[in-house]
Amino acid sequence: MRKKLVVGNWKMNLIQPQAVSLVEALVRKIAVTDAVEVAVCPPYTSIGAVAQALKGTKISVGAQNVFWKDSGAFTGCVSAPMLADAGCKLCIVGHSETRGRFGKLEIDADDVGYFAETDKTVNQKIKALLYHSLMPILCVGETLAEREAGNTDDVIRRQLEGALAGVDCSELGCFSVAYEPVWAIGTGQVCDSKEASRVCGMIRKTLAGMYDQETADAIRILYGGSVKGSNSKELFSQPDIDGGLVGGASLDPDDFATIVLSAV
């Protein structure tokens, strides 16, 4: 049976004292059992401090992005070995915001092109993370226009196939997928739980076709997109949803604790 996984994506929020205070409050509020795994993904600048604060607890630390080379003249980039050295166990890759696909646009539309993630770069990042024994959480999802055009499944299949090109099934014991409909990220909208489960089931079926059923059944598929304490229990009760990738609500220790405990 797949163990539920709940991951908090803090995005570009909190400086180190605030980050440490948040996880200290979270540790006090949740008694994480073996029934659920919990992780938080702070900004790069707070990873070390958060990892130290969580030392000896069952809450893992992850990153929000990675570069695919181990080292080199790549100004501003952070590699997988650096993340592991800082205490990370996992890393988000292919988030819609790094792809320049925003549910809620908070920058000038002309600047969207600076977010240049592609299926090819996601693929390279996944391979780098797996090589260094860090768990990739691959984000996939459709925009509102793609959903309204009836292209949800095709878009997600292309993202899966591109992201996992050349990745052997033997490497996927340390791998998760997060379905995040772009139109639900940061907008307050949430995908209907039955539809979210249907898409997660379609993702598992696609993975079974790419590899085999045993491999697909072992991969955890999360839902993300305006997950909060008031809707998490219904979402996590769906048969094909194995937890959540939580954005804004993960910055509130009370709400995030409610979400975590609803997965137990």
Q: CA of 16: how far to CAs of 54, 66, 253, in Å?
A: 13, 20, 16
Structural domains in the chain, sorted by start: 4-262 (3.20.20.70)
Residues annotated as catalytic (active site), given as ranges = 95, 180
Read off the DSSP letter of residue 2.
P
Per DSSP bridges, beta strands 220-224 and 36-41 are: unpaired
pLDDT by residue, tens only, the chain of 264 residues:
799 999 999 999 999 999 999 999 999 998 767 789 999 999 999 999 999 999 999 999 999 999 999 999 999 999 999 999 999 999 999 999 999 888 888 889 888 887 889 999 999 999 999 999 999 999 999 999 999 999 999 999 999 999 999 999 999 989 999 999 998 887 888 789 999 999 999 999 999 999 999 999 999 999 998 899 999 999 999 999 999 999 999 999 999 999 999 998
Write down the pTM of the prediction.
0.95
Q: What is the dihedral of CA 151, 156, 157, 163, to 10 degrees?
A: 150
Cα 165 to the center of its chain, rounded Å? 19
The pLDDT of residue 167: 98
